A and B are shown apart, each in its own frame.
Chain A
Amino acid sequence: MTSAAPAIVALDPRRYRRQRVIDRLVAFVLGLCALVVVLPVLGMIGYLVLQGGRLVDWGS
């Protein structure tokens, strides 16, 4: 899907550039939220594996 925004806002390039920056910033924040949801899962798995691993005698 191609937006008509560049063509329409070409009349006001500064506004278009500002909007692009805002878009990227909001997309970054949304991505960060997804990361915040996923990181605890990875941390949880890592913690359980690490603590479980201490139980095992790996040999020296």
Chain B
Amino acid sequence: MVERFVFLCGISSVVIVALIFLFLLRDTVPLFRFVPLAHLWQKRNWYPISEPEVFGVVPLIMGTLWVTAGAILVALPLGIATAIFLAELCPRWLREVLKPLIELLAAVPSVVMGFLGLVLLAPWVKQIFALPTGLCVLTGSILLAFMGLPTIVTIAEDAINAVPNDFRYASLALGATPLQTTLRAVVPAARSGILAAVLLGLGRSIGETMTVMMVTGNAGVIPRSFTEPARTLTATIAAEMGETVHYSAHYHALFFVGFLLLVMTFIINFLSDLALGRGHRVVRK
């Protein structure tokens, strides 16, 4: 009885994901009655209420990729360095102070993060880079990096802690210093877990909505640098879904955007699962 209940609970989440996938697909397909698939990829603008309507999704995908790439560029070195410091070098008392503070970062609601970005970070970015506005890819990337950091730090630290002590003892016995041991024996052994941490952080960054909507400027054009405004897939859905006419081309185009987002997140999660699985196998050996 209990086994059956646990099985049902496990299978229900899979069924729910499959249903979400089908639901998005059901409302995406009618879009092709209004516009051909080539239109979505070839157009370089997203003007859903102009006449005729233009549904180029490339600027949205590029906006998402720019913001996410920027976030990873900031979060990757900081997150891995912090995880190594916490796991291997940090005194116990300091670790007990730093860890809750980093985890607190995960508890900050995205709208508060966006609000702080709007009133604190955007004016700094505007002033430092002498821009007409601080609402650009860079501001969004920095905020997303800090939102993804708790995920990266926590999972990477767990991966480093999971490396068997035999690795450390062997390296130290061979004459390596503690830091050489950490950087040349422990971290390479934990690289799959660290990669999974980065990919999960990346997944969080891609799916983030409110913060990017508030600080990236929301211009539906392809950004050419980090100091230009951009519009992401998530922000487009959040900003336009409430105002669109139901079952119009615009409505179905937004479902198509959601479908793209789901596919992108699915690929990233699949890759991180693959990396994590490989990491477990390496540690078991």
Question: Hey, which bits of chain A sit against chain B, CB under 8 A?
Answer: 1-5, 7-9, 19-20, 22-23, 26-27, 29-31, 33-34, 36-38, 40-42, 44, 47-48
Contact = CB atoms under 8 A, between A and B. Distances in A.
B116 A47 contact: yes
B98 A3 contact: no
28 contacts: A1-B172, A2-B172, A3-B172, A3-B178, A4-B173, A5-B180, A7-B175, A8-B175, A23-B179, A26-B179, A26-B183, A27-B89, A27-B179, A30-B89, A31-B85, A31-B89, A31-B90, A33-B77, A33-B82, A33-B85, A34-B81, A34-B85, A36-B78, A37-B78, A37-B149, A37-B153, A38-B101, A47-B120
A40 B181 CA distance: 31
Interface in B94-121: 98, 101-102, 104-105, 108, 112, 116, 120
A39 B159 CA distance: 24
B1 interface: no
B168 A1 contact: yes
Nearest to A31: B85
Contact of A37 (B84, B102, B181): B102
A1 B169 contact: yes
Nearest to B74: A36
A4 B174 contact: yes
Contacts of A20: 177
Contacts of B116: 44, 47-48
A23 B181 CA distance: 11
B256 interface: no
B104 A3 contact: no
Given A1-B168, A4-B172, A26-B179, A38 B102 contact: yes
B65 interface: no
**Binding site of A, secondary structure by majority: helix, strand, loop or mixed?**
helix
A40 B146 contact: yes
**Binding site of B, secondary structure by majority: helix, strand, loop or mixed?**
helix
A30 B172 contact: no
Given A3-B172, A38-B98, 20 more contacts: A1-B168, A1-B169, A1-B172, A2-B172, A3-B176, A3-B181, A4-B172, A5-B176, A7-B175, A23-B177, A30-B82, A30-B89, A31-B85, A33-B77, A33-B78, A34-B85, A34-B86, A37-B102, A41-B101, A48-B112
Contacts of B120: 47
Interface in B135-177: 146, 149, 153, 168-169, 172-177
A48 B181 CA distance: 42
A5 B102 contact: no
A17 to B, nearest CB: 11
Contact of B102 (A19, A26, A27, A41): A41
A31 to B, nearest CB: 6
A34 B77 CA distance: 11
A33 B183 CA distance: 16
A8 B82 CA distance: 30
